[in-house]
A = this chain, B = another copy of it.
Amino acid sequence: MEAHRTDARTPAFRYAARAEGMVASEIRALFAVASRPEVVSLAGGMPYVSALPLDGIGEMVSRLIATHGAEALQYASAQGDPALREHICDVMKLEGITASADDVVVTVGSQQALDMVTRLFVDPGDVVIAEGPSYVGALGTFAAYQADVVHVPMDAQGLIPEALRETLTRLRSQGRPVKLLYTVPNFQNPGGVTLSAARRHEILEICETFDLLIVEDNPYGLLRYEGDPIKPFRAEDPDRVIYLGSFSKTLASGLRVGWALAPHAVRAKMVLAMESAVLSHSAFSQLTVREYLATQPWREQIKVFRELYRDRRDAMLTALDDTLAERCSWTNPEGGFFVWLTLPEGLDSKAMAPRAIANRVAYVPGTGFYADGTGHRHLRLSFCYPEPARIREGVRRLAVTIDEELALHDTFGPVPTRPTSGPHHPGPDLA
Contacts and interface: CB of A to CB of B under 8 A. Distances in A.
Contacts of A254: 71-76, 282-284
Given A54-B65, A282-B255, A275 B425 contact: yes
Given A119-B18, A179-B14, A49 B65 contact: no
Contacts of A19: 119-121, 269, 273
A121 B256 contact: no
Nearest to A71: B254
Contacts of A49: 69-70, 73-74
B115 A276 contact: yes
A178 to B, nearest CB: 10
A325 interface: no
Interface residues of A, number: 105
Contact of A112 (B46, B239, B277): B277
Which secondary structure dominates where chain A touches chain B?
A: helix
A195 B22 CA distance: 35
B74 A46 contact: yes
Contact of A285 (B13, B57, B111, B282): B282
A78 interface: yes
B18 A428 contact: no
Contacts of A276: 22, 115, 140-141, 143-144, 425
A16 interface: yes
Interface in A122-151: 122-123, 126, 137, 140-141, 143-145
Given A120-B19, A282-B285, A73 B253 contact: yes
B75 A253 contact: yes
Contact of A211 (B11, B50, B58, B72): B11
A425 to B, nearest CB: 5
A15 interface: yes
Contact of A69 (B52, B69, B263, B269): B52
Interface string A67-96: 001111111111000000000000000000
Interface string A9-31: 11111111111001110000000
Interface stretch (A166-174, A201-209, A346-354): A201-209
A305 to B, nearest CB: 13
B144 A119 contact: yes
Contacts of A17: 123
A256 B268 contact: no
A55 B62 CA distance: 8
18 contacts: A11-B213, A11-B240, A12-B211, A15-B269, A16-B120, A19-B119, A49-B69, A49-B73, A58-B62, A58-B63, A58-B69, A59-B62, A61-B62, A77-B427, A115-B276, A144-B276, A255-B284, A276-B425
Interface of A: 1, 4-5, 7-19, 22-24, 46-47, 49-50, 52, 54-55, 57-59, 61-66, 69-78, 108-109, 111-112, 115, 119-123, 126, 137, 140-141, 143-145, 177, 179, 201, 204-205, 208, 211-213, 236-237, 239-240, 248, 252-256, 263, 265-266, 268-269, 272-273, 275-285, 288, 425, 427-429, 431
Given A115-B277, A279-B431, 10 more contacts: A15-B121, A16-B123, A22-B272, A22-B276, A57-B65, A58-B65, A75-B428, A78-B427, A143-B276, A256-B281
